[in-house]
Amino acid sequence: MNRLMQSFRWAIEGVLYAASAGGNLRIHLAFAAAAVALAVFLGLSPVEWALLYLTISFVISMELINTSIEQIVNIISPEQCVAAKRAKDVAAAAVLIAACGSVFVGLFLFVPKFVRLS
């Protein structure tokens, strides 16, 4: 059990590092908090909550993977290198695609609720 608790501690340290090291995770977390608050206000169904949770966790996971890739590339290639830049750019593109997808999920979930309120 001690080993399991240590694994959770390391994972939490990773999230805290990613949140403090770069602003992008903080931005994703702020948008996630806003989406959750809006979901509470609009009264999402259980299926809609599941979709929202999966979307938020996907974007945050992609940002954590991106941060990890950036750190690994910085270790392997501290000097500027075209291949290293491309690796970082592709990882950032994955986050961008996930974030854009989350906007569409948000529109799908929230716009009909606002239309019904009007």
Among 13, 48, 63, 70, which one carries the catalytic annotation?
63
Torsion of CA 112, 114, 117, 118, to 10 degrees: -100
State which fold the 2-117 domain adopts.
Answer: Helix Hairpins (1.10.287)
Is pLDDT at 31 greater than 80 in this prediction? yes
pLDDT digit string, tens, across residues 66-116: 999 999 999 999 888 999 999 999 999 999 999 999 999 999 999 999 999
Domain boundaries, the chain: 2-117
Closest Cα to residue 71, out of 59, 58, 60, 84? 84
Is 90 exceeded by the pLDDT of residue 50?
yes
**DSSP for 26-76?**
HHHHHHHHHHHHHHHHHT--HHHHHHHHHHHHHHHHHHHHHHHHHHHHHHH
Mean of the pLDDT values across residues 32-37? 97
Assign 93 to helix, strand or coil: helix
Mean pLDDT of all residues belonging to the chain: 94
User: Both tokens of residue 6?
Assistant: 């240590």
pLDDT at site 37? 98
User: What is the percentage of the chain residues whose pLDDT exceeds 70?
Assistant: 100
Q: What is the pTM of this model?
A: 0.89
Per-residue pLDDT band at 1 (split at 50, 70, 90): confident
Catalytic residue flag (residue 63) = yes
